[in-house]
Chains A and B, each alone.
Chain A
Amino acid sequence: GEDVEQSLFLSVREGDSSVINCTYTDSSSTYLYWYKQEPGAGLQLLTYIFSNMDMKQDQRLTVLLNKKDKHLSLRIADTQTGDSAIYFCAETPFGNQGGKLIFGQGTELSVKP
């Protein structure tokens, strides 16, 4: 069945790069997303990648997709304390109507000064 896995915690120092990893099971996924959730807030869309792409860059964010290994990563360059949040990976399995999303458990990123 459909499943998305993430490690639960990541701790980095301010100014370092952060890499958050995600694995998924549905090889026919069409879109893969990264959302950010700050305390007490909803999920904010960060970026997304279509399954025929290997990489997408958006300012400090780089998304890498390895379809063979069903692995998605989000790299945040020059991580700041304001990047501390929970990051969710999500996929839209092909054939699911209406863009139903399958979410991972979320990775809590802690940025230390």
Chain B
Amino acid sequence: DAGVIQSPRHEVTEMGQEVTLRCKPISGHDYLFWYRQTMMRGLELLIYFNNNVPIDDSGMPEDRFSAKMPNASFSTLKIQPSEPRDSAVYFCASSSEGGIQPQHFGDGTRLSIL
């Protein structure tokens, strides 16, 4: 079975550019989570969706960050404009059954903002 698929795996771009990260959850999973991982702050939950609806976005750092889930099989996390401090690994995860089942993670997108 296919796991959570994220793209791109690596992204290097210049400060000020728009960045779009993509995620395809496991088929049938109705919860989708976006995390950010850095050495300084560890693993942080940014936002999560249930049935394509954002439930909790309290972890989104600021207005430069936005996330959408237009359908059950696709989500995006967008940063506009990007800044060097946004450099991190961004993970997407999905789960089912109201979150009782464990979250399954993608391999992440390693983002570097120069």
Binding site for B on A (CB under 8 A): 31, 33, 35, 40-45, 48, 88, 92, 96-101, 103, 105-106
A31-B100, A106-B42 known; A100+B48 contact, CB < 8 A: yes
Please state if B105 and A99 are interface contacts (CB–CB under 8 Å): no
Residues of B within 8 A of A (CB): 4, 31, 33, 42-43, 45, 48, 50, 55-56, 91, 93, 95, 98-108, 110
Q: How far is the CA of A45 from the CA of B43 in the complex (A)?
A: 15
State the Cβ distance, A49 to closest chain B Cβ, in Å. Answer: 11
Contact A103 B104, beta carbon cutoff 8 Å:
no
Query: Which residues from chain B contact A105 at a C-beta distance below 8 Å?
Result: 42
Q: A97-B56, A99-B100, A103-B43 are in contact. List 18 more A-B contacts (CB 8 A).
A: A41-B108, A42-B4, A42-B106, A42-B108, A43-B43, A44-B105, A45-B102, A45-B104, A92-B99, A97-B55, A98-B99, A99-B95, A99-B98, A99-B101, A100-B99, A101-B33, A101-B45, A103-B42
Residues of B within 8 A of A45 (CB): 102-104
Q: Which residues of A contact B106 (CB under 8 A)?
A: 42
CB contact under 8 A between A33 and B102, given known A98-B55, A105-B42: yes
Q: Is the interface of B mostly helix, strand, loop or mixed?
A: strand
| 14 A-B interface contacts by CB (under 8 A) | A31-B102, A42-B4, A43-B43, A43-B91, A48-B102, A88-B43, A92-B99, A96-B99, A98-B95, A98-B99, A99-B103, A100-B99, A101-B103, A106-B43
Give Cα A41–Cα B6 distance, bound, in whole angstroms. Answer: 12
Kindly report which residue of chain B lies nearest to residue A102, judged by CB atoms.
Answer: B45
Closest to B50 in A: A98
